[in-house]
Structure 1
Amino acid sequence: MTNPTLALIHPTSNPFARNAATAFANQGILKEVITTFAYNPQADWAKALCYLPQPLQKRLIAELERRRWTIPSPAQMQVHPWQEIIRVALMKANLNAPLGLGKHGLIDWVYTSLDRHVAQHHLTDINAVYAYEDGAATTFIAAKEKGIFCLYDLPIMFYKMAQEIQQQEAEQFPELASSLQAVQEPHWKLQRKDQEIQLADHIFVPLPLPKHLC
């Protein structure tokens, strides 16, 4: 009997996703990781960075290290980088505000773009998808149609509890209201979060997180 296989989807790179990918790969069930941009210091293009001026090289590698992915073979890394490259370039050039894009509008664009691409192109020869908040709704809809198991990792408290806490903080400290993200998220994004929860076959949360916060 062949082992089940899954695809892990995360638009950027964080310790939660990297550790999950490594664990699945070590169990022999990870087919691929799908992300926007992945840095492998052993890649030919990465080795060529040594020819850059030292100050530029240092800054660039520090940025790239945040996107470092290394997963055991035979799992594959699938990257779709252009939206993320555009986002980072606009942010670094401080052009997001003049263009009326804001900080979170750009990251939402990256997340939904990758979600859409996975739903259209990466749901073959797998038994499950493993995805994260804000990047799973479209993928889960398509996966359900194909009979693919939907696994959802929620490493932070669910947005409704975060909204409740931050709303109380905003009322108590109005000067902080503009910095509290959970109370400012658009309705369409909250609908996606609800949809992801409803479509998930299994939800993973951190062990120390009380159930009433999920």
Structure 2
Amino acid sequence: WLVLGIAMVRFYIQKGTHRGLFRSVQKTLKFFQTFALLEVVHCAVGVVRTSVLVTGVQVSSRIFMVWFIAHSIKQIQNEESVILFLVVWTVTEITRYSFYTFNLLNHLPYFIKWARYNFFIILYPAGVAGELLTIYAALPYVKKTGMFSLRLPNKYNVSFDYYYFLIVVMFSYVPLFPQLYFHMLRQRRRVLHGEVIVEKDD
């Protein structure tokens, strides 16, 4: 992710605009974000002590944004909202992996720990805003082209409308985002303030 961050900064310095940035860094982005699926596996087998559900939701939503929105709908690649979630993801992952790396080395600087459990307070809402605005910008193109949609009649006798699916995805952020956000807030209180958090059984 540091490689991606450097590439983004270099592009903006050279071009002086965000237009074309996604196209410039998309190969690196797709590589790192797709291989993030391994994080779900690591959680499932116990390599990392993190919720499989939380990690799964985060990783799958990002992969969806990369492949089924930004990659598939080229007309929205220059939207400011795309750059917003790219910057947020990059800062978030650089901070998170720095935290994990120093933690494994048993030499965790306080600033890294502080950044890990404070930056998200602003970055999470900003990232969600970027993702939602990007999906919203994609809706007219999806509706016009009928991409990824399946109309009746067909041999499978089923229909699927990607346009309405994206609307459902947008509304799904309403229940999911607070759960992820408050999960991180609980982790923040536990790590930075030493509070004992008792998780309620579902």
Instruction: Verify same fold: TM over 0.5.
Output: no
Structure with greater helix percent: 2
Structure with greater strand percent: 1
User: TM (normalized to structure 1)?
Assistant: 0.27
